[in-house]
Each structure stands twice: as C-alpha cells, then as structure tokens.
Amino acid sequence: MLAYNLLLLLIIILGFGLCEIKKSKRNNAIFLLIVSVAMIVMSYLRADTVGIDYIQYADYFKQVRNGGWSFLISNANMYRVEPGYSLFNYFVSLFTDDVHIFMLFVSILTVGLTAVLLYKYSPVPWVGMFVFASFGFFGNSLSFLRQSIAIAIFLYAINFLKKKKLIPYILIILLAASFHKAIIIMIPVYFLAHIKVNWKSLTAYASLAALILVLSWPLFNFVTKYVYQYYATQEGLYYMLGRDWQTAAIPAITTVTILIVKNTILKRDEANIVLINFSVYSGLLYIMTCQHFLFQRFGMMFFTSAILLIPELLASVGVESVQADVPATESLKAYKNKAQKKKALQERRQTQIKINTHKYIYYYATAAVLFVGFLYNTWILIQNRINLIPYVTFLTKK
C-alpha cells in the first residue's frame, strides 16, 4: 500500500503548498505536471503482476507487434471493432517491442488527458487529482486499459454536453468508443443529462433501475444469445455475480451528498445539472452492482465524473461563491455622515464574517473529502480485486 499512500500524500502536500496557499493557474499547472509525472512513472515501472489485466493487454500488444497490419484487419484481432485501441497498439509497436514502453504510453494518455482536463475545467484541480487517485480511477488505469483511455477521452465530452452541443459531443463519444465500445451508451445520455433532479426524476430513475434488476437475467440471456455470445461463457457469468454492499457505499454516499447540496452547486453553474445527473446514475448503478457486478462497469463511466463534480461542490461553498455577491465598497473616508460610516462598517464586518464562515466550510469540506478518499483508497487496496498490491516494479521483481 505504501506506494499508493505516498502518492496521495504527495498530492495533498503539493495541493496545499502550491494550489491553496497561493492560488494561480501557474501553480495549478506545476502541481498537475509533478503529480502526473509521479503517476506515469508508477504506471511505467509496475511489474506485470500489478493490474489483473496487465498480462492480457501485454499479450495483445505482442500479437500486434508480431502480426503487423495484417493481424490488425484479420478476424484474429479480438479488438478489431475498437479500431482506436488497435491502432494505438499498432503505432506504438512500430518503434518498440517493449511492453513496458507501451504501458508508459498508455499512462501518458490516460493521466495526461486527465491532468489537462482538470487544468482546463476544474475550479480546484488538485482535489480533482486527489479524487482520481483515491477513488480508484488511477488504480483502474493500471488494469482496465481500454476502459480507462475511453473514459479519459469521454470526460472531454462533458463540456459540450453542458453547452448542449450535440455534434462535438457525439464525435468525442465515437472516438472514446473506438477504445471501448461500451462508451457508446453515452449517446442517449445526451438527451437525459439536463433533466431536472427532483423527486419525480429520482422516482423514475429508481423505478427503471428496479425494473432492470427484475428483468436482468432475461435481458442477459437475450443479449448473449443474439449480440454478445462471448459473455454466455463462464467468464461472462462471473459478471452476473453480485458485489458486497461496501462496493456501493462511497458512490451512494457521494450521490446523497450531492443531492443534499445540489442547489448550491447549481447556483454556481446551472449546467452542473449534468454532473449531478451523472452522480445519480453512478449511485444507482453501483447499488445495482450488489446484484450483478456487470453494472459496476457502467457505473464507473459515470462515477469518474466525480473528479469534476467534487471540486465543483467545494467551489460552490468556498469563499469565491460569497465574493461574487459582494458589491465593491467605497472607502470609509467617503462617508461624511457618522451614521452612514457606522452602517458601512457594520456591513463590511458582516461580509467578512460571511467570507470567513465560507472559508471554514470550504476547508472542513475539503478535509472530509481527503478523509473519505483515504478510507476508500484503503478499502480498495485491502480488497485487492484487481491485483494492485503488492506494488512491485519490473526492475525489482524476482
């Protein structure tokens, strides 16, 4: 666990030291660069025992390297329907046969895209990166290569979804789906993500989730008979097993928290309704995971948006949310009347109290995120479902 905990500690120290004490875009960029390099190095140096799917993807890279273009377009290519991932392997294989170098490029792509996303769109980038590391998304990128790349690309579509720009949204979805076809489900989400979150919509979502759970086996049998015959195998049936309730705990708690403060988040930006809806979808899908593990694969796509949503939550309760409503005040010397000067002084004191209160709320909320993140990260590592520990490097592995 040491490597992952040191990574979280690095994020927190640099986050406060660079991004909180003296906030600036430059400091955000320096922070993201340093932490991204640390993550990329961790990903590159890991041995083939770190990440349950490592060997599978390493073997595929070797197939592409040995088979070349003819393998890429043949029926033997198991990822032929995901040309983005196939071509990515092919282009890397043109100048190296080293699997570790391939994993380096994968990490540069996933971590690099995430860092740029947070720099461009997140109000508190360092917290977004902490969520990325502590909520298991970085750990997933060490194993679920295709899905992690696809999600990293998809997250850029959220900005266009917020602005209701269909064409660029769909183009990004199609690009992401070329790495993992399951992302294609995000196309119909475009028409749902702006729905107001209230008791009516929540009831509808919950009812739909319940209906899917009731019909899950008939739906699975239908789909595996006519579309994904591969999943009718023993491995496919594994996805139909249920997870324990702890798997759904943090996503569900995140959803409930977001629903409690949704009006505050929407006050900051009405377009955040998209992220709030994503949180609702992820919470429900993770709850459904208690019946079938398969739903976690879809829930992860929505839950990863927490790297954008949680910073939005913190920004909505922070000092900036108060300062935006504070009008510019004149110098007290401008008031010749003692009563007016006294009134102005009282207003300033009230404003300062309000600012200080929001400052404390922001830091308490940030501390809560850090605490929950550490707990969640510890639980993920203890469960070790995707072989993240022990973390060893290919340089030291015997």
- Give the integer Cα–Cα distance in Å for 144 and 203: 33
Average pLDDT on 296-319 reads 92
This prediction's pTM? 0.91
Tell me the residue length of the chain: 398
List Cβ neighbours of 252 (8 Å cut-off, separation of 6 or more). 283, 286, 287
Which tokens belong to 243? 């997870």
DSSP H helices, 245-272, are 245-260, 262-268
pLDDT in tens, 165-179: 999 999 999 999 999
| 323-378 pLDDT tens trace | 554 444 555 555 566 666 666 666 667 766 677 777 888 999 999 999 999 999 99
pLDDT digits (tens, 9 = 90+) for 48-83: 999 999 999 999 999 999 999 999 999 999 999 999
Phi then psi dihedrals of residue 335, to 5 deg: -95, 115
Mean pLDDT, to the nearest integer, of 28-39? 97
* CA-derived radius of gyration, the chain: 23
Angle at 118 between CA 115 and CA 121, to 5 degrees: 145
Give the per-residue pLDDT at 23.
87
Rounded Cα gap, residues 90 and 264, in angstroms: 47
Amino acid type, 174: L
Question: What is the band of 5 on the pLDDT scale with cuts at 50, 70, 90?
Answer: very high
**Residues contacting residue 27 through CB under 8 Å, at least 6 positions apart:** 18, 19
